[in-house]
Structure 1
Amino acid sequence: MSEDDKNPARQVIADYAHSHFRYFRTADGTVYAQKNGHPVARPIRSQGTTGSHRQELMVGLFKDGVGVFNGTALKEALDLIEALALSEEVQPTYIRVAPGYDGATWLDLGRADGQSIRIHPTGWEVKVPDPREVSWRRTQLTGELPLPARDTNGKGIDLLLRLCNFATAETECLAIAWLIGCLGPSVPVPAPFLTGPQGAGKSTGGRMLVRIIEGMTGDLRRAPKDEENLIAAVAAGWVTALDNLSHMTPDLSDAMCCIVTGAESVKRALFTDGDVFRVGYRRPLLLTGIDVGVIRPDLAERLLPLRLERPKVRRTEAELWTEYAEVLPVVLGSLLDLTVKVRAVDAETPTDLRMADFAHLCAQLDGATGLGALAAYRASLDELNDDVIEGDLLAQTVLRHAESIEPGEAQRMTSTEWLHCLTRLYSDEDMRSLPKGWPTTGKVLSDRLKRLQPTLAARGVLIDSGRTREGRYLEMARASAPPPHVQEAAF
């Protein structure tokens, strides 16, 4: 063959790549490659240790006898492939959990053969998804799950609860509801906060819950020191578990709120002058600790306290995790069976709770099992409101002043007038000095009260704001009757 008839190496690589791989792009412009018929996608620019497309392309060329090519040819071929793929269809990639066709959702088992679990209100099955329906993205945090057991009759749930040290039946049903919520890609779930006395097995219990979704390699991590590292850890996995929290800064609290309900981070792309890349994230979050101090009201609405107790009989780590690994297929199978039943239930969505999707899931769980998850969730929120009030002197002072207001009536003043009123109420009785963080201006007071609105409303104190010809005002009123959810929780 003459030199003119030979194809350049980059053309040989590109032809081989397009015959063996499917290329597409995501909404942010990242180009991914999938082996034909396989759901796992890899970014073509990745150099990660979990296996890059460049590596699998080189191996394929070598094993199929096409040849071994130098780095320049591979780079030129990948540059061409990336340019061509930018005109292809847009398809998202998912980590661990993904939406599917016909109302189904998928759970990635993390297996090399691509087998995944399709969950539908009519049942669940293990199969390899169509790559055009689901494209999995995997990282070093993507562990392998065992194949779930069939026909468990719910015994896996009992086995899990026996291994964990949950203090009450209410705590157990909330933990189950959270696990079901983790299997839904579009359901924001509150962050479980595993708490209890020293030696209650909080870290062990957290690992057990996480590993049902993330496999035996799933583990707890220390909270990163800054938001950027936290976002990186969150974006690389599905469930983010932070261990042994003893203090929560305002920045960390705000970041956790964003993780639970969803947010987006925009940063400058490296080695560019003006390009940016977007990182969108909404992930299940799990926390452990004895006490994190003062809880901000916005985070309290997104927490799910799960109290543990000290076990009466201690076991070695080796014994405990050996048994856990043995029962994990049964636990996963029972959880999938229960998820199918719950999703088939038609239930009303409570309209008075911040995390309405999770409240609806609890109502569905009650319809399927009668566990009382919704009442337990309301009671947990009421308990968290108590924690917020106990840690906020301004909230305590507002509640004291509200006792002088008749039920059904309201008082209206400017924010400055309210500041003087509440300051006198706090300091005059014992001539106490104002605590650190007490509002110093009417604007600061107004902002603090807006943040406390849900907490105060749960105690029957309603805060409203508005404007008249004279200027802006704050209005404080007492509800004529306790909020309905408080009555239900007490019942």
Structure 2
Amino acid sequence: MDEQPKIIQYVRKLINSCGLCLLPLVDGEKHHGDGWKQYQSRLPNESEISSWTNKKRWGIVCGRVSGNLEVIDFDEKVRKGFFEAWKSLLPAEALELLKTLPLSKTINNGYHLLYRSKEIGRNTPLARCLDESGEKKAVIETRGEGGFIVEPPTEGYEHLNGSLEHIPEITPEQRKSLWDTARVLNEIVEEQKIFNPKPQLPDSNRPGDDYNTRATWEEILAPLGWKIERQCGEKRYWKRPGKIEGGISATENYNGNGLLHVFSSSTPFEPDRSYTKFSAYAILNHKADFKSAARELANKGYGSKQSEEGTKVAVPHESQSDVIVRMVLARRFWQLRHKAPNTEALKTALTVLEGKAYFDGPLIKLWNRLTEHEGAIWYDLADTEWRAVKITKASWEIVANPPILFRRYSHQKAQCQPVQDGDITLLLKYLNVADRKHRLLLLVWLVASFIPNIPHPILIVYGAQGASKTFFCRLLKKIGDPSEVETIGFPRDQNELVQIFDHHWCIVFDNISRISGRDSDALCKAVTGDGFSKRELFTDDDDIIYAFRRVLILNGINQVATRPDILERGILLELERISEEDRKSEKALLAEFEKDQPSILGGIFTVLQKAMQIEPAIELASLPRMADFTRWGAAIAEALGYTKEEFLSAYGSNIASQNDEVLAENLTAVLLRTFMDGREDWEGTPTELRNALIEVAEGLHIKPEREPDFPKTANALGKKINELKTNLAVTGMHIKRGEAQKQKRIYIRKGGKKTVSVDSVVPSPSVGTAPKQKDPPMPLLLGSKADKGVDRVDDFWNPETF
């Protein structure tokens, strides 16, 4: 009884002077009772302390309430020796620190190591093992925020070092060293914490699996500065680069599994995880780019063995593709076990396959219907056998087991089997095209549509009702990209338009009456290969980038493409109305066409093969906007038996008609040409020109303010003229802009050299090259930008001085 007042005085001192939250324990328990959690945020008051007389067992609430107290608890009931093993692994600096920290022994011969730190956490297991019954038990864990420990003066507990009255504060680095050393003794790793587990397929042909089998940890870690700290049997302890003092950062052959288990958070690895050799190699050498790591290892000779068990599975590229993979797995399981797998097993297998494919599989870019690979053009027949046509300069053939090149969508239909010695000209009897130049252009365009990686002109088909425009376009679609969806209306939503571009190689936009500026821009991007961006989900911040070059066909009663940018990327094709006596039923035409289609397709591949031989030798003096198509078009024309001059003449005439369409459909161009009738040149401000055009419009009984395409401001007029000046130059009207007396000026001149069309850039063999014409002079205002550094008035029109 004489000792009790001393105990209360000691408790009072620890609470009031040392800031420790001491509480009496319930008899036979290791806690204060149901109400102890209130003391996680406050210390006991004097009234409470005075009421705790005759208490013999005491505990401390850890965490912030006790001045950021944290305790490492060593439980020796399951197996003795963890505390001594931990001490033996501590670096010298940590051993010196240990001498300054309070250490107490528990009633079960365990240990409590106490310290304070600016960084504390909640109760955290650091090392676990299996007890005699096979249950997982924590043998080293921390007691932090929300934790509670039993301490002297409780009977059976004794202080071995230091005192509760003086608990030092350690640095976060010192705390980390104590924790990391304790984690080294962990004997249990949860499966989900094994990063890229060791593969179970020894015959796998993947470079990562082969590397896991053949590489050593020294080859991976030592070149990057990792050092072996010590070795115990088959287990080795590694120290990370840059760690000056001793200590363990990772353990090799952790738990006997051959993996590297990392404890330190000061490495590229995530702490408290185990890593295979391949995953460690990828993280350390390729910043966790597993595909790049696999490619490099493949180049070094890893992954050369081909698994005899490998099976290629064709899956449509659609939202339900996982359903098909699930069916493939279920069928395979039935074949092997003669029973059905359960749903959870299938779900798990799918998840594992996705993970292995993402991290271990090679990166294979897939294409829609057509691509180039190793110098050959490949065309997907989209049949159930996954056959493809391979076209080279020497020949073309159907390949039964092609490389993995293509992705497919559910709308795609199988293509007919092409035949050798086919005839592309059989197509012309089904198309309402009588003009020789148009027939040549159409055949060239069709063959060029089987060339990947070049911009293809948009085929713009128009004509009166009854001209068979839709049927005409459907046949072209059947030849290049058979689909359940042969024609498409122009969607209002831009994301839907991007999806259409992505899912089809050849797209027919049917019965179009108008194309907005935004849609025109989208069509141009789909021709040139510029990227589209959209989010996969509305909750995502990351964009998905789509970039492709597509074959596009537009049809309508009127010529709907009026903007210069889309016309410069197009071929205009006007169809005449079919007379009643020449009209045939669609059913009869389709039946006949299906008989000729294999020959037509084979003829296309034969022409393309020949064009691949001719194209490198094609030389042209000048090229229009669609330069790649022009080069290939000249080669295709020769492969068809025409001359390149015939193609260039036909294409040049079409470009000229495109220019006429632009100027005829644009109100500004019409007014400007009317204004310049009877004038050779004109100069003035943009405002003066706009006022002059308004007067011309009113003289033609046009109210420009009601016309949506007429520029509303002088600046808008300048932009409109920029769009039109190339087309106007073809007619001999040249426009340039300058500045005089701090005012913007527009200079217009008629006459002089016209912009030439494609057919005139390559001289006829019998004609020769025409002499270059000199541009006539144009008046120049003194003080303008144009007169600075210009020696002669006619130098104003020299692009190098203007």
TM-score per shorter chain, which class? 0.7 to 0.9
Q: CA deviation at 1:206?
A: 0.8
**Structure 1 residue 293: Cα displacement:** 4.8
In the alignment, which residue of structure 1 is the partner of 2:637?
366
User: Which of 481, 485, 488 is residue 753 of structure 2 equivalent to?
Assistant: 481
Q: Give the C-alpha shift of residue 74 in structure 1.
A: 3.6
Per-residue CA deviations over 1:194-247 (Å, capped at 9, x if unaligned) read: 222321211111111111112374611222233222221121111011111222
Q: With a CA cutoff of 8 Å and minimum separation of 6, indicate the structure with the bigger relative contact order.
A: 1
Deviations 1:321-348 (A, max 9, x none): 1111111111101111111112211212
Matches within 5 A, 1:28-427: 36=310, 38=312, 47-48=319-320, 52-65=324-337, 68-87=340-359, 88-102=361-375, 104-128=376-400, 130-131=402-403, 134-152=404-422, 156-215=423-482, 217=484, 219-270=486-537, 272-293=539-560, 295-309=562-576, 310=578, 312-345=581-614, 346-349=617-620, 351-368=622-639, 369-370=641-642, 372-403=646-677, 406=680, 412-427=683-698
Query: What SS is found at the alignment partner of 1:288?
Result: strand
Q: How far apart are residue 299 of structure 1 and its match?
A: 1.4
The residue identity in structure 1 corresponding to 2:351 is: D
Greater Cα shift, 87-96 or 175-184: 87-96
Separation in 2, partners of 1:190, 1:25: 40
CA contact (8 A) 2:649 2:758 kept: no
Give the TM-score normalised by structure 1.
Answer: 0.83
Q: TM-score, normalised by structure 2?
A: 0.52
- What's the CA shift for 1:178? 1.4
Q: Distance in 2 between matches of 1:62 and 1:189?
A: 49
Aligned partners of 1:128 and 1:433: how far apart in 2?
A: 66
Contact 2:388 2:402 in 1 (8 A): no
Task: Kindly indicate whether the alpha-carbon contact (under 8 Å) linking 1:40 and 1:135 is maintained by their aligned counterparts in 2.
Answer: no
What amino acid is the match of 1:340?
Q
Q: Distance in 1 between matches of 2:659 and 2:335?
A: 62
CA contact (8 A) 1:50 1:140 kept: no
Q: Is the 8 A contact 1:257 1:298 kept in 2?
A: yes
Q: Measured at CA, do residues 75 and 380 of structure 1 come closer, stay the same or move farther in structure 2, by a change above 3 Å?
A: same
Q: Which moved more, 1:267-276 or 1:386-395?
A: 267-276
Looking at structure 1, the residues matched to 291 and 395 of structure 2 have their Cα atoms a distance apart, in angstroms, of 30
Q: 1:431 to 1:118 in 2, by over 3 A?
A: closer
Q: How far apart in 1 are the matches of 2:327 and 2:689? A: 66
What's the Cα RMSD here? Answer: 3.6
Q: Does 1:459 align with 2:728?
A: no
141 and 457 in structure 1: CA distance in 2 versus 1, 3 angstrom threshold? farther
Cα deviation code 1:282-313 (max 9, x no counterpart): 21011222114571111111221223331542
Answer whether contact 2:315 2:324 (CA < 8 A) is retained: no
User: Which amino acid in structure 2 is aligned with residue 355 of structure 1?
Assistant: M
One-letter identity of the residue aligned with 1:126 = I
Partner Cα separation in structure 2 for residue 169 and residue 81 of structure 1: 56
Letter in 1 for 2:435: T
Report the CA distance shift for 1:208/1:405 in structure 2 as closer, same or farther (over 3 A): same
Give the SS at the match of 1:304.
strand
What is the CA distance between 1:170 and its match in structure 2?
A: 1.5
Alpha-carbon separation, structure 2, partners of 1:22 and 1:325: 47
SS in 1 for 2:396: strand
1:436 to 698, 704, 707: 707
How far apart are the structure 2 equivalents of 1:37 and 1:405? 76
Flag the 1:431–1:166 CA change in 2: closer, same or farther, 3 A: closer
Gap change, CA 1:480 and 1:53, over 3 Å in 2: farther
Equivalent-residue separation in structure 1 for 2:380 and 2:323 (angstroms): 17
Q: Which segment is superposed worse, 382-391 or 46-55?
A: 46-55
- Aligned residue for 1:241, secondary structure, equals strand
Instruction: State which drifts further: 70-79 or 456-465.
Output: 70-79
What is the match of residue 31 of structure 1? none
After superposition, what is the alpha-carbon deviation per residue over 1:103-159, rounded to whole angstroms, capped at 9, x for unaligned?
x1110000121211111122211114553xx4210002321112111123xxx2232
Distance 2:490 2:557 in 1: 15
Q: Distance in 2 between matches of 1:298 and 1:233?
A: 21
Deviations 1:84-108 (A, max 9, x none): 4444543311010011102x11100
Cα shift at 1:267? 1.8
- Write out per-residue CA displacement over residues 450-486 of structure 1, whole angstroms, 9 at most, x where no aligned residue: 2223322222223344567825544434462222217
**Number of the residue aligned with 2:56:** none
Compare 394-403 and 60-69 and name the one that shifted more. 60-69
Question: CA–CA distance in 1 between the matches of 2:607 and 2:354?
Answer: 43
In structure 2, do the counterparts of structure 1 residues 347 and 292 end up closer, same or farther at CA, with 3 Å as the change threshold?
same
The answer to whether the Cα contact below 8 Å between 1:39 and 1:130 also exists between their aligned partners in 2 is no
One-letter code aligned to 1:358: F
Deviation at 1:80, TM superposition (A): 3.9
Structure 2 gap segments, 5+ residues each: 1-133, 135-190, 209-288, 293-308, 765-802
CA distance 1:271–1:343, change in 2 (3 Å): same
Q: Structure 1 residue 49: deviation in Å?
A: 6.4
The SS at the match of 1:344 is helix
Aligned-partner SS, 1:448: helix
1:180, CA displacement in angstroms? 1.2
Q: 2-side partners of 1:91 and 1:25: how far apart?
A: 13
C-alpha offsets along residues 25-56 of structure 1, whole Å, 9 cap, x if unaligned? Answer: 999xxxxxxx957595666xx53369743443
Q: What is the alpha-carbon distance in structure 1 between the residues aligned to residue 652 and residue 602 of structure 2?
A: 29
Partner in structure 2 of residue 32 of structure 1: none
Judge which range, 467-476 or 376-385, deviates more.
467-476
Report if aligned partners of 1:253, 1:299 keep a CA contact under 8 Å in 2. Answer: yes
C-alpha distance after superposition, 1:392-434 (max 9, x if no partner):
121112223445554xxx755443333233333433x457532
Higher radius of gyration, 1 or 2: 2
SS for the counterpart of 2:734 is strand
Local SS of the residue matching 1:277: strand
Residue type at the aligned position of 1:347 = I
Counterpart-to-counterpart distance in 2, 1:283 and 1:230? 12
Seen in structure 2, the aligned counterparts of structure 1 residues 462 and 430 have a Cα distance that, compared at 3 Å, is closer
Closer/same/farther in 2, CA of residues 184 and 22 from structure 1, 3 Å limit: farther
CA distance in 2 between partners of 1:21 and 1:141 (Å): 33
